[in-house]
């Protein structure tokens, strides 16, 4: 995908959805952090179902800690890997209170020092909460970046580096949302819906068929 195609690719996505947002439900930066931490290897739908019960009861580090580990687990047990996620969230809450006055830090090293928070989770918080032009790369973005020719790479880090170089600055703040939504609903893993794709003219992928079977 050349520079002109990339520009048209994102211009088309922006025209269809000018202000994209994450499908995780949250109202505070801490709720976002907790939701993203819980979303690893789980769907946004399953996380939202759990946090709709959890956040009205406990949506601050202190309130999460007050639940206790078993209490927290009871709210999130429908999410995959809930036991380890509950443990990480409890540890994260303690660190936020002890080291950050109960607030979510806005720098990558401090975020990635929190249990259960990797580079992708830190990038999501930096982007969604603080408006930084970073590129969280999940499975959808990895697939779309490689399949379309937008930012080919064999690893998540390689794709992230390519995206930061190739996505025009005007689109970087929202780029990861557009790519996630595109991968989730159009450029799907097993069978991309190329006949429904608005950015198909700019994509390097050549489907075997042009119509739904």
154 among known catalytic residues: no
**Rounded Cα gap, residues 21 and 166, in angstroms:** 22
In the chain, the percentage of residues whose pLDDT exceeds 90 is 95
**Rounded Cα gap, residues 64 and 160, in angstroms:** 33
Q: Which residues have a Cβ under 8 Å from the Cβ of 30 and sit 6 or more positions away? A: 59, 60, 61, 96, 103, 104
Write out pLDDT tens, residues 56-87: 999 999 999 999 999 999 999 999 899 999 99
**Rounded Cα gap, residues 46 and 50, in angstroms:** 7
Set 77, 101, 107, 138: catalytic member:
138
Set 49, 63, 107, 120: catalytic member:
120
120 among known catalytic residues: yes
Q: Which two tokens stand for residue 188?
A: 């799907």
Instruction: Assign 207 a pLDDT band (cuts: 50, 70, 90).
Output: confident
Nearest to 82 by CA among 73, 69, 92: 73
**Rounded Cα gap, residues 1 and 147, in angstroms:** 10
- State the sign of the Cα–Cα–Cα–Cα dihedral 28, 25, 171, 179: positive
> What are the b/e assignments for 150-180, b being 16+ CB within 10 Å?
bbebeebebbbebbeebbeeebbebbbbbbb
Cα torsion through 195, 201, 154, 114, rounded to 10: -80
> Which residue segments constitute the domains of the chain, with CATH numbers given?
3-20+135-202 (1.10.1670.10), 29-128 (1.10.340.30)
pLDDT of residue 209: 57
E-assigned strand segments in 134-182? none
Residue of 153 and 207 predicted with greater confidence: 153
Instruction: Assign 212 a pLDDT band (cuts: 50, 70, 90).
Output: very low
pLDDT of residue 134: 96
Q: Which two tokens stand for residue 82?
A: 């809930």
Q: How many helices (H) and strands (E) does the chain have?
A: 10, 0
Write out pLDDT tens, residues 87-133: 999 999 999 999 999 999 999 999 999 999 999 999 999 999 999 99
**Rounded Cα gap, residues 125 and 33, in angstroms:** 6
Cβ(68)–Cβ(93) under 8 Å?
no
């Amino acid at each position: 995908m050349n520079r002109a195609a990339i520009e048209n690719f994102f211009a088309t996505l922006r025209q269809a959805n000018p202000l994209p947002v994450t499908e995780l439900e949250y109202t505070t930066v801490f709720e976002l952090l907790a939701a993203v931490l819980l979303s690893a290897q789980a769907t946004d739908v399953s996380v939202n179902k759990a946090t709709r019960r959890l956040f009205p009861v406990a949506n601050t580090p202190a309130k999460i800690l007050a639940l206790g580990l078993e209490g927290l687990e009871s709210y999130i047990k429908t999410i995959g890997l809930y036991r380890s996620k509950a443990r990480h969230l409890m540890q994260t809450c303690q660190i936020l209170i002890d080291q950050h006055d109960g607030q979510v830090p806005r720098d990558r090293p401090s975020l990635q020092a929190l249990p259960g928070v990797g580079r992708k989770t830190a990038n999501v918080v930096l982007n969604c909460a603080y408006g930084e032009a970073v590129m969280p790369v999940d499975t959808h973005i990895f697939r779309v970046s490689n399949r379309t020719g937008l930012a080919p790479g064999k690893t998540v880090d390689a794709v992230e580096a390519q995206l930061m170089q190739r996505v025009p600055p005007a689109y970087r703040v929202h780029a990861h949302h557009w790519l996630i939504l595109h991968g989730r609903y159009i450029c799907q893993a097993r069978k991309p819906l190329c006949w429904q794709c608005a950015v198909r003219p700019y994509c390097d992928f050549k489907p075997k068929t042009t119509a739904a079977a």
